[in-house]
């Protein structure tokens, strides 16, 4: 049961209540918008619902992270569910001729918000493929969720690397995000199949201090072997 912050009544399906009483739906907070931005910069995506509104969806093998998102979005959250089992993932890979016997597979979990009309503003990220807008403000919250989604900690170099495949050719735009925030500007590592930003060990330490404490399940990305 969820309580409507406007009328104070409890509902089993709060989303249905908001759909029939739009004026009762609270606005997303600034922090929630920052989380959405960081999540979308990584692997999250916006889906259009059957009612013509939108919801945010995130798939992850890290169920703790999805529980963190669910907690942050409260009444805007739907239940976390198993999107694909490790066995099903392996069988799908083998059916496509992949090397399923030499790869470790994990259960993939999914979390999504309820339908939220405010999410329509993020549809301008999509034009055939997802491309980041020019006016992103890299706050600590935005960078934290981008990093845990698409970043990694290179222990051999004690540095951060973040995959940015969709932003190939947009390096100046991405660099401007960090310049405006007075953060170290990334260097680039590009191959035929990948495009990633990276920072030196000293710069990476500065970024981690800016981001703050790690999210549960991702301590290893802060250079801590204890997940």
Residue 118 included in any domain: yes
Residue finishing a domain among 126, 150, 169: 126
Query: How many domains, the chain?
Result: 2
Under DSSP, is residue 10 helix (H, G, I), strand (E, B) or coil? strand
Residue finishing a domain among 100, 126, 152: 126
Residue 206 included in any domain: yes
Residue 6 included in any domain: no
Based on the fold, state whether residues 181 and 200 are members of the same structural domain: yes
Pairing verdict, β 108-112 and 187-190: unpaired
Based on the fold, state whether residues 64 and 44 are members of the same structural domain: yes
CA dist., res. 144 & res. 147, Å (int): 5
CA dist., res. 200 & res. 188, Å (int): 11
Based on the fold, state whether residues 59 and 105 are members of the same structural domain: yes
Residue 5 included in any domain: no
CA dist., res. 167 & res. 176, Å (int): 13
Residue 160 included in any domain: yes
Mean pLDDT for the chain?
91
State the residue range of the domain holding 64.
Answer: 28-126
Based on the fold, state whether residues 35 and 62 are members of the same structural domain: yes
Residue 29 has pLDDT above 50, yes or no: yes
Based on the fold, state whether residues 37 and 115 are members of the same structural domain: yes
Between 126 and 18, name the one with better pLDDT: 126
Based on the fold, state whether residues 91 and 136 are members of the same structural domain: no
- Taking a C-beta distance cutoff of 8 angstroms, is the pair 58, 39 a contact? yes
Residue 45 per-residue DSSP state: E
Residue finishing a domain among 86, 104, 126: 126
CA dist., res. 162 & res. 76, Å (int): 28
Expressed in angstroms, the distance from the first to the final Cα of the chain is 32
Residue 108 included in any domain: yes
Based on the fold, state whether residues 117 and 168 are members of the same structural domain: no
Residue 169 has pLDDT above 90, yes or no: yes
Under DSSP, is residue 50 helix (H, G, I), strand (E, B) or coil? coil
The percentage of the chain sitting over the pLDDT mark of 70, rounded to a whole number, equals 95
Residue 226 has pLDDT above 60, yes or no: no
Based on the fold, state whether residues 58 and 118 are members of the same structural domain: yes
Query: Which of 1-15, 64-78, 187-201, 204-218 is predicted least confidently?
Result: 1-15
Write the CA distances from 66 to 39, 77, 97, 137, 177, integer angstroms: 11, 10, 31, 23, 26
Q: What is the pLDDT of residue 101?
A: 56
Here the CATH number for the domain that contains residue 143 is: 3.10.28.10
The percentage of the chain sitting over the pLDDT mark of 90, rounded to a whole number, equals 71
Based on the fold, state whether residues 178 and 213 are members of the same structural domain: yes
- Taking a C-beta distance cutoff of 8 angstroms, is the pair 69, 39 a contact? yes
Based on the fold, state whether residues 99 and 146 are members of the same structural domain: no
Residue 179 included in any domain: yes
Based on the fold, state whether residues 99 and 136 are members of the same structural domain: no
Based on the fold, state whether residues 166 and 94 are members of the same structural domain: no
């Amino acid at each position: 049961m969820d309580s409507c912050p406007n009328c104070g009544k409890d509902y089993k399906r709060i989303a249905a209540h908001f759909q029939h009483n739009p004026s009762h739906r609270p606005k997303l907070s600034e922090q929630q918008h920052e989380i959405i931005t960081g999540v979308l910069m990584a692997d999250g995506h916006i889906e259009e619902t059957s009612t013509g509104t939108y919801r945010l969806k995130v798939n992850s093998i890290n169920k703790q992270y999805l529980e963190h998102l669910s907690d942050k979005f409260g009444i805007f959250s739907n239940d976390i569910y198993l999107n694909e089992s490790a066995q099903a993932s392996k069988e799908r890979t083998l059916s496509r001729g992949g090397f399923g016997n030499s790869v470790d597979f994990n259960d993939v979990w999914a979390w999504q918000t309820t339908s939220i009309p405010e999410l329509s503003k993020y549809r301008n990220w999509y034009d055939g493929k997802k491309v980041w807008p020019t006016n992103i403000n890299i706050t600590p919250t935005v960078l934290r969720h981008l990093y845990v989604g698409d970043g990694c900690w290179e222990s051999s170099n004690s540095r951060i690397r973040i995959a940015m495949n969709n932003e190939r050719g947009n390096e100046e735009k991405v660099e401007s995000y960090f310049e405006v925030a007075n953060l170290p500007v990334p260097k680039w590592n590009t191959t035929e199949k990948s495009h990633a930003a990276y920072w030196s060990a000293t710069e990476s330490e500065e970024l981690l201090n800016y981001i703050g404490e790690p999210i549960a399940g991702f301590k290893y990305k802060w250079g801590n072997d204890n997940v």
